[in-house]
Amino acid sequence: MSWHTGLLSSVDAETTGVDVETDRIVTWSRWTIRPSRGYKRCCTWLVDPGVDIPDGATAIHGVTTEHARQHGERARDAIPAIAADVLYWSREEGAVTVAYNAAYDITLLHRECLRYGRQDLADQLAALRPVVDPTVLDKQCDTFRKGSRKLGDVARHYGIDLAEQDAHGSAADALAAARVAYVIATRYPALGGMEPGDLHDRQVTWRADQCASLQRYLRKKDPPDTVVDPHWPLTPVPVVTQEALT
C-alpha cells in the first residue's frame, strides 16, 4: 500500500503570529484520513493562549482574545494534549503526519511544549517521522511554476476547492493539506510509491536546497546576509534560556 492511501494524520495551527519562538497556538486541528477506506475524522482544539491575540491575527482566523478566554482550553492543559495526540497518531502502523509548511507548525508546537515544561513531549516531537509536507513536495515536483505557493492557491492548482471563507481555519487547512499531498502523490507515482521513511529523508534535502535557492534570490535585492533557515521539519532551538520561552 502506498503511503498516501494508508493513514494520513494531517495537522494545522492558527496562531497569534508568525514567530515560532514567541507566538502561541490559538486553534489546532487534526484530521485522521484513510483514503483506501473512505474514512476521515477531525479533532479540533480552541486554546486560550494566555496572551492577547493581535487584531491582525484575529482578522486572519477570526478568533478574538475574548472568545478564546471564554471558550478556549487553558494552554497549559491543551498543549500537552495536542502534542500527545500528534505523537499517538504518528505511531499507528503505516501512518504519516501531514503538515503544510511543517517547519512552522511542528516547531511552534515544540516551543509550546517547552514553554509549559514538557521537555518529554518536545523531545518526541523533535524526532517525529515520517512527516509529509505538501509545500516541499509541490516545490520539488513543479519547481518553476509561477504564482503563489500559499495553501489556498496550491490547493486550487491541484483542483481542490478551498473556499475563501474556509481558508485560515485550521480544520479546513489541515484537510486541504492532506488532499494536496494525496493529489501530488497520485500525479507523481514515483513519489507516491516511495517508502515513507525514505520520503521523509528526501524532503530534508529538498527543503534545504529550496531554502538555499530562495536565499540566493533574496540576497540579490535584500541585505547580503539574509538567511533562510533550511531546517525541516523542526527548527532547532536558538541559543536562549528556558526563561525566554515563558
In one-letter notation, the amino acid at residue 131 is V
Residue 9's pLDDT band (boundaries 50, 70, 90)?
very high
Mean pLDDT of 61-84: 98
- Does pLDDT of 237 surpass 70? yes
- Does pLDDT of 53 surpass 50? yes
> How many domains, in total, are found in the chain?
1
CATH of the domain at 198: 3.30.420.10
- Does pLDDT of 241 surpass 60? no
Distances from the Cα of 124 to the Cα of 88, 114, 166, angstroms:
11, 12, 31
- Residue of 35, 12, 38 whose CA lies nearest to 25: 12
Find the domain containing 145 and state its range: 3-245
Residue 96's pLDDT band (boundaries 50, 70, 90)?
very high
Mean of the per-residue pLDDT values of the chain:
94
Mean pLDDT of 159-177: 81
User: What per-residue confidence (pLDDT) applies to 224?
Assistant: 84
- Does pLDDT of 223 surpass 90? no
Provide the b/e sequence for 114-142 (b: ≥16 CB within 10 Å): bbbebeebbebbeebebbbbbbbbbbbee
